[in-house]
Every structure is written in C-alpha cells, then in structure tokens.
Amino acid sequence: MSGSIGKPTPFIDAVQKVTGQAMYADDYRMPNMLYVSFFRSTESHAKISKLDISEAESYPGVCAVAIGKDIPISFGVLPISPDENAIAVEKVRYKGEIVAAVAAETIKAAREAVEKIKVVYEPIKAFFDPKDSLEVCAPEEQIHSHTKNGKNIHKTAELRFNEPEKELEIAKNKQSGFFKFAGVTHAFTEPHSTLAIWNRDDTLTVISATQVPFYLHKNISKVLGIPLHKIQVKKPTLGGGFGGKSDPFPHEIITAYLAKKTKRPVKCTFSREEVFITHHGRHPTELSMSVSCDDDGIITALDTDIIIDGGAYGSFGVVTSYYNGVLLQGPYKINKFGFRTRRTYTNKHQCGAMRGHGAVNPRYAVEVLLDMMAQSLNMDPCDLRNKNFLPENTLTVGEFRITSNGVRECLEAVRRKSDWDNRYGKLPFGRGLGVACGFFISGSALPIIWNRYPQTVVHAKLDFDGRIVMFSGASDIGQGSDTLLVQIAAEELGISMEYVQVETADTKITPVDLGSYSSRVTFMVGNAAKTATTKVREEMAKAISKEKDVTAENLIFNNCRIHTKDKSIDLSWEEGVEIALAGRGAFVESGYYISPKLGGDFKGSGAGLSPAYSFGAFISEVDVNPNTGAVIVTKVWGAHDCGKALNPLSVEGQIEGSIHMGLGQAISEEMRYHNGQQINANFFDYRIPSSLDTPDMDITIIESNDAEGPYGAKEAGEGPIHPVLPSIGNAIYDAVGIRMMELPITPEKVLSKMKENA
Amino acid sequence: MDYYHTPSTVDEALTIAGKLSGNYTFFAGGTDIQNYRKQQLDTNEYVIDLSEIEELDSITIVDGALHLGAMTTLDKIVSSDEIQNHYPIIAEAAKTVATPVLRKTATIGGNLLVTNRCTFYNQSQEWRDGVGSCLRDVGDICQVTGGKNDCYSRNVSDTATALIVLGAEITLMTPNGIIQKSLKDIYLPCGIKFHDLEERCILTQISVPIEPKKWWYKKLRLRKTLDFTSLTVAATIDTAGIARVCLNGVSMSPILIEKPLKELTLEGLISIARKNCKTVDNDLMPLKYRREMINVYLKEWWKSFR
Amino acid sequence: MGLKQIELTVNDFSHPFLVESDETLLFTLRNRLYLTGTKEGCNQGTCGSCTVLLDGKPVLSCMTPTLRCVEKKVITIEGISSGENLHPVQKYLVKNGGLQCGFCTPGVVMTAVPFLEENPDASRREIKEGLSGNLCRCTGYKKIIDALENAAAEMRS
C-alpha cells in the first residue's frame, strides 16, 4: 500500500489553521446581516407573568424581537425527551435561560435593545440539590409537568443481572464507597456561533458551530415548520466540541427563526459567559458502589446506585443515565452486575454529553474500589486487574459483543514503561503511582432517531480532473475526520493525498452522517469511505481491463500508477482516469455502514451497544505536598487499544488531549454555583490546566486489529479519558495514603482527608 | 473632548485629568481595568492612557536605591539583571502575575494599584443582576457576608506584597507637586475605597533602598499561571534583624507585620496575622483552607531561616 | 465616546477608517478589517487566542484599545509569514500535529514567534512557561511544545 494509513499524517486543514485562513462560524459574514443578542433569565425557577418587549421593538436598529410563544414547539436531541423550548415559554427553569432575542443592525444596537426589555417573574421554589428533586413536591413546583409521581426525576435507568445484591450480601471480600463528582464542562476554545441565511427561494441555510448538522437540520424543521428539503445545515471549521456542540441548541433555532422572520442573514455568537451558561457538560454525580471478589481476586459482583444532576432540561440525559451503568461491563468480566441511575431535573444549566459520556465518573469509582480491593487482598493492583480482564471475542453479562481486545497489552506496556514493579509502593512519602483501566464504545450501534437508513453514507466522486472528492456528512470537529477520508481514498486508490479533497458536513451536498459523537466516526465513516473508494477502484479496474484486455484483479493501484505485476500494462493515474470515464463521464460511488444486529432482547439492552470497544490502561505519577494538599501530576503513561492507528499523530493527540481533560476534572475543574448561578463562568475561575499544569506524557498505541473496523481501527477520542482520573486518584493513595472519593481533588480536600487519616 | 487620551508626559496627563472633572480612568497597561470597563464596573467616560509616557518606563539604581518607573512592564522586571541581582523577590513576585504575554503589557504601577476583587463583584452586568448586586456595586447588601455595612473585597496585588516587605517608597505626582510616601500607606482596609490617593495623582516611581535582606515569597493558586492570588506571603529579614511579613489576597489591603525577629514567635506571628486578616469567602478557594494556608505559609517561612 | 478617524498599520499596510473610541483591537481587526484569523475565545484576557504583535511585542488584542495602536505597527496571523513559506513555528505545528481544532493556533503562533526570537535557546520547560497564557483544550500541549522545540532548532540554524 502506498497511502498514508498507519503513518503520522498532518491534518489536511492544518496549514489553513496555522495561517488563520480556516473559517470558523463567527468568521462568516453576509451582506445585510443582522446580529442577535439575548435577554436571559435572572431567576432560577419562575413563572413569567409579564414580558414587555415594546421598547426593544422600537429601539433604533432593531428589526425583530422573538419571544417564547413565537416558537412554541419543543425539541431536544433525543426524540424521547423533547422538553426544551428555544425561548422560555411561560416559565423559566434556570438562571441564564433565554427569555427573548433581539435581531438588530449592529451587535451594539441589539445589546442596547435587550436592556429595554422588561419582565416580571413570579418565583417558584427552585431545586438546586438533586436529592431534593427525588422528593415529592407540590405540582406547581415540578420543574417539568411530565415527570412522574410528583417528583423531579427525569429518568430512572436500571438493569440487573444474576442478583449482584445477594452476592454482595454474603461476600467475604467486599469494597464499598460513596463517591461525589462535581459537574465539569467542555470548555472548547471556540464559543458557539451560528449564521442563518434566509434565501429568497424560501430555503434556509444555517452555518453553525455544531457536531451534529443532521440533528440540527431535523430539529429546525420540526420547530420552525420548514420542510426538511428546504433546509441546509453546514458545519464550518469547528473550534472543538467534546460533546458540547452535539445538541441542537436554542440559539441555533432562534437565529434561524429570526432569519426566516426578517428574510435577512442573522448571526449570533456567544460570549464566554454564555458558553458556560449553555453548558450541556458532564453531570454532577453522587454514587454508592460495591464490588466483591473471591480470595483469588476474581471479581464476583458489582452493584451501584447513582444520582446524576441533569439541570433544567433533558439533552442526552436518558442515554447518560444508561451509560453510567452499562459501560461498567468492561474491561473486567463481571457476571453479577447491577445498577440504577436516577437523573434528576434541577434549576441549573442543563447537562448532557461530554467526552467519555456517562461513564467517566462511575469508572473512577470502580477503579478506586479495585485498588482498595487489591490492597485488602495484598495483591498488586495491576495483577488484580490482569486476572479479571474480559477475553477477546466474548459477550459481557449485558450481551455486549466484545471483538478485539488489547487491554492486557495496554496494561503490560504502561506497567513496564513506568517501572511499576520497582516503584509502586516504594516511592518516598508524597510521591506515588496509580493505575486504572478503561473501556468505551466505538460508535453507538443504534441511532438517536430511529430510522432504517445506514449509520452513514460516503460518496466518492471521480471526474475529468483526476481528483477524488469525498462527500461525507462526517463532522470534523478538530479530531481530523476530514484527513481520515483523504487517507482512506489515497490508500484504496494508490494515489497521493493531494489527489483527494473533501466536501463534508453539509446537509444539502453531503450524504447524511449522524454526527461526531459516541466515538463513531473512525469506525463507521471509515468503513463507508473504504467501501466507496474500493468501488471506485473496481470501476476503474473494470474499464481498464476491458480496454487493455487484462483481468481486473491483476491490476495494481500504487504510487499514482495502475499497473500489472509485470508492468506490461503501466498507466499513469491520469491515463487510468481517462479510460475509466470514457463513455460515461464523471461517476460517484457510494459506501455505507450499518452496524450488525447486536444485543439482547431485554428492555434497555440497546444502551451501550457498539460494533467494537476500545480499551486502555493508564498509570499516573503524582507529587502531593502534605503541607498544602496540592497535587501535581508529574507524568502519565497512557496505553490505548484503538485497533489500528490510521493516523498515529491524531491518535496520540486524542490520548494526550484526554490526559489534559481528565487531569482538569481530577484536580482543578468544577462548575461552581451560588443559588443556581454559576460563580465561575470564565477562564479565570473555571480552571482548565495550562501548559505548565499538564504533565509529561508517554503514549503507547496498542493495535488489536479489529476484524470489522476499517483496516482494523476502533475509536481513540473518548476511551482514553476514563483511566486518567482514577489513575490519579489511586496515585494519591500511593503517595500519602488517602482515598479521594470526591472530585475535583482540590488541595483543601486532600488536606482535610490527611487530617482525618492521621 | 476626545474620549481617549495618550499624553506623553505626566504633566500633560494631569492637565488632561484636570479638565475631566473626575470622570476618567487612568490606563497603565490596561490589562485588568479593561475587564472592569467591559463589565460596566468602570463607567467613567474618559480614558487617559499612560502607556506613551516614556519617562515612567525605567529601571535604575541611583544612590544605593532601586528606582522603578511605574510604567515599567512586569516582563521587564522579571528579566532585569539589576532586579534579579539585587532584589530577586521583586522578579519572583512579578513572575507570578497573570501570564507571560499579559506581563508584556501589564505594568508595575498598574499591579500595585490593581482593583480589589470579589467573586460576587467581578462578574458581568447580567450576572450581577441575577445575583442581586452588592454593596460595592449598586446593591445594599454584601453577597458574601449578608452584612449591610462592610465590603471585604480582596487586594490581589502580588508585587505590592513583595515591595511592602522591602519598605518601598512611592512617588506620586499631583497638580500641587510631588508626594512621597511609604507604599503600604496607600492601602486602606476597606473593600470599596481601598486606595488612599489624592483626587488627581499619578503613581510615577517606586523606590527601594538596596540593602541585604533574607527574603521569602509564595503565592497560593491552583494553576501555575493566570490565576489571581488566593494568598500571597512575602517576608524579609534585614541586617538589623527586623522581620517584615506581608500577607495579601486575604483582606481588603495587604497586611504587614513588622517586628524584630527576636521578639517574634511563630505562634505569635500566626495569631497577629489571623487577627488582622479580615478574610471572607469571596474567592474560589474555600475560606477555611485559605485561613489554614496562612498558618502553613508562615510556618514554612519560619522554618526557612531556622 | 463616539467615532474617531484613525489610520492603523496592519501587516504593513496603513488603513484609514473610523473606529468607536472604546473598541478593542480585536474588534477592529475582526469586524472592520475582516482579518478573522485573530480569534476571540474569551474577550477577557484569559485564553490567548487573540494574540497579535504590536510593534513586535505580543499583546492580547481583546485587552488592547485600538486607539493605543495608532502610529504603531500591528502584525496579525495573516502577516506573520510573508510569501510562500510558513514560519518555522507554523511549519512544525503542522508537521508535529501541534493543533487539532486550530482555534487557539493563531494565538499560539503569535505568542511563540516572538518568544522564540527572544529566547532562541529556550528549554522545554521555558517553552512551556512562555506558552502558559495560551489555553488549548485539544492537544494537552505536548505536540505544541514538541513543535516549538523543533521550530527553535530550525530558527537557530
């Protein structure tokens, strides 16, 4: 193969990005464009008894003002919980919720007009603590009228296999713990931004910073009543997502509405504070968990009860609720297994999907409890884990089909590289090593919106210019999926990457892809791209074989040439293209990906199903200052089984980025609230690690070559975050002998725990 | 009248200020005050930008004293050989302020006169509307303590902490002439009016006598960059055995404790510090922890020379 | 307040236009000159994405009043490499994978170029230090630092 599959490959848009040429949503502008500013709630939970927009409407420069009843149809990323309105209707459910929107000639005029809006609220009892939301309340205090039994519980997800509670009752070796996790947010560097253009053929074009153009397209159609065939959603270059741009958002729908209403282009771009308010990040979580083992350290049961604080609306919450539990079925074999997750509504910013969706917090608990177990059994924590790994090609207790599995190799690699056996438990007081493993889906096998279409379709076009254009709905959000499409085409056709270009994430031009979430793109889009370009090659070979009287199978596509082994036929790529297009002209080949039928037939069996799973093992080294409680993570060894690294540069980048983000959640990041209002909605006080806070990293890529993945590949974008946090928590134990059960592990928590221990 | 002024001398700046009847803000580097303007916390109509005044950009040693022009950037201070040789504590303190790029614009004068901070005050207008405002803004209650009289916003100047223990003197230019006073005297223990400065004056110079001192400096923050201080402690012991310890970030003004070392015990020092610091829960690091760290830092300093 | 007529030299060309008296250089660059390579990540001086050069010195354009820049020279990401060749900093960010989403990248380039010019022998630790005002959420900084080490080596030779 002459392509770049498996070789470190700079992103195809990297030069554009380093020169400032790449166009992000806010970089687009249109003639005659209006700007949007929002009027937001200053109440956490209240009835809107009066809303007066008259002064704003007549303010100089204002073209339109929108309020809730203008767009009353509710929506949500999951069709099962469409509980949100683009603009609050009748009542507000969190501080910062949009109550009105102004479109004006300049952003200044829009902001000034917003200040002219008057509102009177009738406050309702607000819920900030998820435990309060579990209780029965007065009907008028319910955050949403659809919740059952007079409580503010959005979803209860529960699955049990083989009565784990019975085993745990009698188990001799049992570890239990209560864990608490603060909410964290994506903190991508590009604020949300949307430009909506109402075209005079009565179609709508939306250019938006989104990971999910398709879901945005569907929801705009639903809420604004615009037929699907009159909408185009385009994702420009995206400044990071991590799940934070994977919902259709109110501001996107409002901007589209205002464009439709004014028949003009309309743009909205968030301030950093608005980005924080919009949130949709990781749920604050409280959970208790128990794990039992036999005397040999073989895990016998796991049971957990989880409360996640969803905030005011549903978002991905139903999925999150399941993922909190089901994704604990690996990487260890656990036959007696159960969980219950309750997602509550509270009057705070809504939570949703964030890198490692749903499983990051309970993973921390599992790995810490296993560390405690190893200690109580006097076993090395690596050895204990080794004894319990799932094998390859097996089913988990909840009938997840495990195919390739490189977790053993992962653990072995970090164990060796960190010199674990000589250093664990032997470092001076204050320094320590900790280990943890992880496991994640490589794309959700089931779509969010049920349909009979494939997960993704990719078109590859060949025309007179000899160029392959890959048409894919896949959203490059910085992870490099556009580059992946080019690499695959180049690989399959034996041409250099410069012959391949992409058209992506445009719902009018590109075949639909469900979006960049659940780590699905490499596996699903990769397979579809491979099929499409294989078909182009076959078509070309067919034409050449006819013209040159040679068997198609004997033609080799390599180094921009098409030849037989003996070079009796040896064509340049351009000559091959001429022959292939003769008599038919440009052609397009299509590839698609459909997940195989997977899973059991019990209720809830669909959650967490994936055609493949990634695995990983990480070891962290920390330095804990026993006087101040400050934790410095000095080095992280990370090994991740991504099946096959199609682009090692980007796989490493994903693992390194996961270490950064996991470190942030572990020791410094936290959504902090005061009466439902976030007090650190800025980068001063929401502390994402800087270059000086991020540790040295040693990355190992393990390639287990998945039979169904494209060239053997699986995901690498989310799995690597799971082991990071517990490896740090466990290292702190090794350093100073305390078990941190609450995240973030800030200095004051370390210090007070050390005192407790002394 | 122009909104934005860029005088090239101190006299010119004072003359302009004289015409604006108090409705102006001086910009030194402007890196902090810009946020106050964006958040409508500083609503003065006019800006007098001092960054063109070259006479204030200097690091000199004259007659055994180090003189810093107030508009010298923190970056220049961090990398100055003179300062590193004679007063590494100043370089060290300056280096803990903000980020490398900000330090190329931010000035020593600006940092000494940095505005007091509070979690409930340093927020956008919409945010403050949401919480119901506070004493220092347009409200009538302190959101931190619930009190109706006192504001406890924190002085967060890291360089002030270091310069105070060096006994720095400052020069202020006013229309009526030059005023010289001790740096520590410009700070008031009040969260609303935290600087004791003439109506119309410009801080032009900071002077520190060069004499051998043992020094110690530490700043408490979660990250190694960007964060405002949660507690800064600086300390010196001079050749006469006088110890000067200054704590900042934990009260409305820097708290200086000055005593002959031989009259000092660690317990005594801690008790004075804790008594003088009016620390409340107006920072992201919890109150209890910040108080505890006062003890820890003082202890660490104490051990450093024992 | 109000508008003021100024001339601003950006990337070696002098533009005459009207600005609001209180606007920031970031706003002027993006909205009046349509030089959108300079990014607005926070507008609070916290992320470094809007870094540009003012008379050769890196500044955060979101904190810099436009009227302060009159008679000075502004260089933006669009002007950092002249002609066909990328600056070594850009070249190695591309080559070493020192960017993912790319949003912080212009700020990283505009910080790193003057930093490495000023500190040609910077150690890895010093490079980390020099970059500590540029928040990146994708890369974990490792490959950025790798790239800058390589760029420094090339700049030295």
DSSP H helix total and E strand total for chain C:
5, 5
Please name the member of C44, C97, C104 whose beta carbon is closest to the beta carbon of A10.
C97
Residue B49 has pLDDT above 60, yes or no: yes
A185 contacts on C by Cβ (under 8 Å): none
Contact at CB, C134 and A691, closer than 8 angstroms: yes
Counting Cα atoms < 13 Å in the Cβ hemisphere of A357 gives 31
Please name the member of A21, A656, A684 whose beta carbon is closest to the beta carbon of C139.
A656
Helix %, strand %, coil % of chain C (to 5): 35, 20, 45
Going from N- to C-terminal start, the domains of chain C cover 3-79, 88-156
Instruction: Say if C132 is an interface residue toward chain B (CB within 8 Å).
Output: yes
C2 contacts on B by Cβ (under 8 Å): 3
- What's the CATH code, domain A25-124+189-240+245-278? 3.90.1170.50
Does domain B4-117+153-305 bear CATH number 3.20.20.70? no
* Separation of alpha carbons A586 and A467, rounded Å: 10
Instruction: Say if A575 is an interface residue toward chain B (CB within 8 Å).
Output: no
DSSP-based three-state secondary structure for A260: helix
C47 pairs with which residues across the strands?
A: none
* Separation of alpha carbons A665 and A675, rounded Å: 22
Strand order through the sheet with A91-92: A91-92, A46-52, A118-123
Going from N- to C-terminal start, the domains of chain B cover 4-117+153-305
Instruction: Say if A717 is an interface residue toward chain B (CB within 8 Å).
Output: no
* Contact partners, residue B303, CB within 8 Å, separation at least 6: none
Please name the member of C43, C93, C131 whose beta carbon is closest to the beta carbon of A271.
C43
The model's confidence at residue B1, banded by pLDDT at 50, 70 and 90, is low
Please name the member of B119, B126, B292 whose beta carbon is closest to the beta carbon of A679.
B119
The model's confidence at residue C1, banded by pLDDT at 50, 70 and 90, is low
Rounded to the nearest angstrom, the minimum Cα separation between B252 and chain A is 20
Rounded to the nearest angstrom, the minimum Cα separation between C84 and chain A is 11
C4 contacts on B by Cβ (under 8 Å): 2-4
Strand order through the sheet with A500-504: A500-504, A468-472, A456-462, A587-593
Instruction: Say if C70 is an interface residue toward chain A (CB within 8 Å).
Output: no
Please name the member of B131, B285, B296 whose beta carbon is closest to the beta carbon of A674.
B131
Counting Cα atoms < 13 Å in the Cβ hemisphere of A173 gives 20
Rounded to the nearest angstrom, the minimum Cα separation between C132 and chain B is 6
* Separation of alpha carbons A743 and A196, rounded Å: 40
- What's the CATH code, domain A285-446+600-757? 3.30.365.10
Rounded to the nearest angstrom, the minimum Cα separation between A668 and chain B is 7
Contact at CB, B2 and C4, closer than 8 angstroms: yes
Could you report the average pLDDT of every consecutive run of 10 residues in chain A (758 residues)? 84 98 98 98 98 98 98 96 96 98 97 98 98 97 96 98 98 98 98 97 98 98 98 98 98 98 98 98 98 98 98 97 98 98 98 98 98 98 98 98 98 98 98 98 92 95 98 97 98 97 98 95 98 98 97 96 97 98 97 96 95 98 98 98 98 98 98 96 98 98 98 98 98 98 98 94
Q: Are strands B59-62 and B46-49 parallel, antiparallel or unpaired?
A: unpaired
Measured between CA atoms, the residue of chain B closest to residue C70 is B6
B98 contacts on C by Cβ (under 8 Å): 45, 133
Residue A287 parent element (H or E): strand A285-293
Q: In A, residues 163-182, which contact B (CB 8 Å cutoff)? A: none
Please name the member of B27, B35, B101 whose beta carbon is closest to the beta carbon of C133.
B101
User: What type of residue sits at position C101?
Assistant: C
**DSSP string of B156-211, one letter each residue:** --HHHHHHHHTT-EEEEEETTEEEEEEGGGGB-S-SSS-B---SS-EEEEEEEE--
**DSSP string of A205-232, one letter each residue:** EEEE--S-HHHHHHHHHHHH---GGGEE
pLDDT tens per residue across span B121-168: 999 999 999 998 999 999 999 999 999 999 999 999 999 999 999 999
Please name the member of C43, C96, C103 whose beta carbon is closest to the beta carbon of A239.
C103
Average pLDDT over residues C54-75: 97
Count the Cβ atoms, other than its own, within 10 Å of residue C126. 13
Contact at CB, B120 and A679, closer than 8 angstroms: yes
Q: Are C154 and C88 in contact (CB under 8 A)?
A: yes
C5 contacts on B by Cβ (under 8 Å): none
Q: Are A684 and B226 in contact (CB under 8 A)?
A: yes
Rounded to the nearest angstrom, the minimum Cα separation between C20 and chain B is 10
A39 contacts on B by Cβ (under 8 Å): none
Best mutation target among C32, C95, C141 (most A Cβ atoms within 10 Å) is: C141
* Separation of alpha carbons B155 and A391, rounded Å: 59
Contact at CB, C140 and A697, closer than 8 angstroms: yes
Instruction: Say if A481 is an interface residue toward chain C (CB within 8 Å).
Output: no
Collect contacts of B122-126 with beta carbons under 8 A, ≥24 apart: B122/B35, B122/B39, B122/B41, B123/A679, B123/A681, B123/B39, B124/A271, B124/A273, B124/B39, B125/B39, B125/B40, B126/A40, B126/A42, B126/A273
Measured between CA atoms, the residue of chain A closest to residue B132 is A42
Contact at CB, A273 and B226, closer than 8 angstroms: no
Q: Which of C48, C53, C52, C76 is nearest to C132 (CA)?
A: C48
Task: List all chains that touch chain B, counting a touch as 3 or more CB pairs closer than 8 Å.
Answer: A, C
What is the model's pLDDT at position B9? 97
- What's the CATH code, domain C3-79? 3.10.20.30
Contact at CB, B6 and C115, closer than 8 angstroms: no
Rounded to the nearest angstrom, the minimum Cα separation between A92 and chain B is 13
Count the Cβ atoms, other than its own, within 10 Å of residue A422. 7
Going from N- to C-terminal start, the domains of chain A cover 25-124+189-240+245-278, 285-446+600-757, 447-593
- Both tokens of A558, joined, read 């390599």
A479 contacts on C by Cβ (under 8 Å): 100
Q: In A, residues 342-371, which contact B (CB 8 Å cutoff)? A: none
> Torsion over CA of A382, A384, A387 and A389, rounded to 10 degrees?
-70
Rounded to the nearest angstrom, the minimum Cα separation between A135 and chain B is 27
- Both tokens of C18, joined, read 């009207």
What is the model's pLDDT at position A2? 55
How far is the first Cα of chain A from the last one, in angstroms, to the nearest whole number? 62
Q: Which of A257, A228, A235, A148 is nearest to A190 (CA)?
A: A235
Does domain A447-593 bear CATH number 3.40.640.10? no
What is the model's pLDDT at position A4? 87
Contact at CB, C97 and A649, closer than 8 angstroms: yes
The residues of B whose Cβ lies within 8 A of any Cβ of C are: 2-4, 6, 27, 30-32, 34-35, 37-38, 45, 47, 49, 51, 98-102, 104-105, 224-226
Candidates 2.30.30.190, 3.30.565.10, 1.10.1660.10, 1.10.150.120; correct CATH number of C88-156? Answer: 1.10.150.120
Contact at CB, A653 and C81, closer than 8 angstroms: no
Whether the upstream peptide bond of residue A744 has omega within 30° of 0, thus cis, is: yes
What is the model's pLDDT at position A1? 47
* Contact partners, residue C76, CB within 8 Å, separation at least 6: A20, C10, C11, C29, C35, C37, C38, C52, C53, C106, C110
Measured between CA atoms, the residue of chain A closest to residue B98 is A684
A694 contacts on C by Cβ (under 8 Å): 140-142
Q: In A, residues 268-287, which contact C (CB 8 Å cutoff)? A: 269, 271-272
Q: Which of B210, B254, B252, B214 is nearest to B232 (CA)?
A: B254
Contact at CB, C48 and B31, closer than 8 angstroms: no
Instruction: Say if C149 is an interface residue toward chain A (CB within 8 Å).
Output: no
User: What type of residue sits at position A184?
Assistant: V
Check for a shared fold between A285-446+600-757 and A447-593.
Answer: yes
CA distances from A48 to A72, A120, A678, B102 (A): 15, 6, 22, 44
Task: List all chains that touch chain C, counting a touch as 3 or more CB pairs closer than 8 Å.
Answer: A, B
For residue A496, which phi and psi values (nearest 5 degrees)? -80, 160
Chain A with chain C: Cβ pairs closer than 8 A: 166
Rounded to the nearest angstrom, the minimum Cα separation between A394 and chain C is 34
